[in-house]
Amino acid sequence: MINKLKETQALIDKIRFTNISIEDIEDLDQLREQEYLTKESGKMKYITNSGKEFNHLTIKDDVVDIFSAGTSKLNGNCIPYTKMELSIHGKSDGNLYCNTVCEYEDQLIQTQEHLWNKYGVKTNAENVKVSYIEVNKTFQLEHLFAEYKRPIILLMSRLPKNKGVQMDFKSLINRKYKINDFAVSNNSSAIKIYDKSSQMQIEAQGELMRVELTLKDAKTVKGAFKTNIWNELTDEAINEYFNTQMKK
Mean pLDDT of 2-6: 66
The neighbour count for residue 230, using CB atoms within 10 Å, is 21
Confidence band of 168 (pLDDT split at 50, 70, 90): very low
The neighbour count for residue 97, using CB atoms within 10 Å, is 15
Confidence band of 7 (pLDDT split at 50, 70, 90): confident
Answer yes or no: is pLDDT of 38 > 80: yes
Confidence band of 162 (pLDDT split at 50, 70, 90): low
Answer yes or no: is pLDDT of 37 > 90: yes
What is the per-residue pLDDT for 171? 41
What is the per-residue pLDDT for 172? 46
Could you tell me which of 125, 48, 117, 38 has the C-alpha nearest to residue 83? 125
Give the separation between CA 134 and CA 216, rounded to whole angstroms. 8
How far lies 124's CA from each of 27, 34, 47, 99, 121, in Å? 18, 23, 14, 22, 10
pLDDT for 170-211, tens place per residue?
444 445 555 678 888 889 999 999 988 876 655 556 789 999
What is the per-residue pLDDT for 176? 52
Question: Are the beta carbons of 37 and 57 closer than 8 angstroms?
Answer: yes
Answer yes or no: is pLDDT of 229 > 90: yes
Give the separation between CA 234 and CA 128, rounded to whole angstroms. 14
What is the per-residue pLDDT for 170? 46
Conformational region of residue 202, where left means phi above 0, alpha means psi within -120 to 50, and beta covers everything else: beta
pLDDT for 78-115, tens place per residue?
899 999 999 997 665 668 889 999 999 999 999 999 99
Conformational region of residue 51, where left means phi above 0, alpha means psi within -120 to 50, and beta covers everything else: left
What is the per-residue pLDDT for 223? 95
What is the per-residue pLDDT for 203? 55
The mean pLDDT of the chain is 87
What is the per-residue pLDDT for 51? 95
What is the per-residue pLDDT for 93? 65
